[in-house]
């Protein structure tokens, strides 16, 4: 498993980088299949923070973005339609975005299990901060106080998979400016609140590096993976 921490990176630039790694794995799989080879396919885990951006998944509705192009420019945000599942999501500074680009044939061939494992990684990490996070039936991502009027989402998820290779991933609100969520209907679900780790803990700022370390620890255990290489921006 190669771990790359990209720091703060433009959404399009990161998407292109994701796509290049995704294609690299697919090409190796194709070569293995055609030439009856047994070369191991690589697996990557990218950590990144994005400048303010709204992304709309392929099953999403543009009406869930509540502001005009002019207003987007005013709040210094960009907008992209992308090829993951799910509806609309916000990314911005203070949010940990994780893009596991994996060949699931190296682990297990079950996309639903994959999503549940990503959720479990978030749940276990938040438990280390004293928060009881959970899944919400029929909705992806990770939530707090599910089944109450105070239910709120702390982590969004949306992935793409082709021939068991994954891209896109999760977005965990840590020190996120929650005001940006006012300009959208999060994940297309009306009446649902969002939150951030610093808000839940009543702190101005949480150490992002520490959260990433804990996420990675749980990811490696859940996926029974080992770090082959680690790079930081």
pLDDT, position 192: 78
pTM: 0.94
The Cα–Cα gap between 40 and 18 comes to 19
Three-state SS string over 89-136 comes to EEECCCEEEEEEECEHHHCCCCHHHHHHHHHHHHHHHHHCCCCCEEEE
Q: Which residues of the chain have pLDDT under 70?
A: 187-189
| Amino acid 205: pLDDT | 97
Per-residue pLDDT at 187: 63
| CA dihedral sign, ordered 46, 185, 143, 83 | negative
Active site (annotated) includes residue 187: yes
The SS3 of residue 46 is: strand
| Given 187, 206, 208, 216, the catalytic residue | 187
pLDDT of residue 186: 72
Q: What confidence score (pLDDT) does residue 188 get? A: 63
Which CATH class, in words, describes the domain spanning 2-232? alpha beta
Q: Give the pLDDT score at 107.
A: 96
Sorted by where each begins, the domain ranges of the chain are 2-232
CB burial of 134-163 (b: ≥16 within 10 Å; e: otherwise) equals bbbeeebbbbbebeeeebbbbbbbbbbbee
CA distance 73 to 214: 35
**What integer pLDDT is reported at residue 229 of this predicted model?**
84
């Amino acid at each position: 498993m190669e771990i790359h921490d990209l720091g703060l990176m433009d959404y399009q630039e990161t998407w292109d980088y994701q796509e290049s790694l995704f294609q690299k794995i697919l090409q190796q799989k194709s070569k293995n299949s055609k030439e009856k080879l047994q070369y191991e396919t690589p697996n990557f885990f990218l950590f990144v923070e994005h400048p303010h951006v709204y992304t709309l998944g392929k099953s999403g509705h543009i009406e869930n973005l509540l502001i005009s192009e002019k207003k987007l420019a005013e709040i210094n945000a960009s907008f992209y339609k992308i090829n993951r599942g799910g509806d609309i999501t916000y990314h911005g500074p203070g949010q940990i975005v994780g893009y596991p680009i994996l060949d699931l044939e190296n682990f297990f061939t079950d996309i639903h299990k994959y999503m549940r494992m990503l959720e479990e990684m978030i749940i276990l990490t938040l438990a280390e901060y004293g928060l009881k996070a959970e899944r919400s039936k029929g909705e992806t991502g990770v939530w707090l106080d599910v089944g109450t009027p105070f239910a709120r989402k702390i982590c969004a998820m949306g992935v793409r998979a082709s021939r068991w290779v994954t891209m896109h991933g999760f977005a965990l609100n840590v020190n996120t400016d929650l005001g940006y969520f006012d300009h959208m209907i999060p994940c297309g679900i009306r009446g649902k609140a969002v939150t951030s780790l610093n808000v839940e803990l009543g702190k101005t700022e949480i150490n992002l590096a520490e959260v990433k370390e804990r996420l990675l620890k749980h990811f490696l255990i859940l996926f029974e993976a080992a770090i082959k290489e680690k790079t930081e921006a």
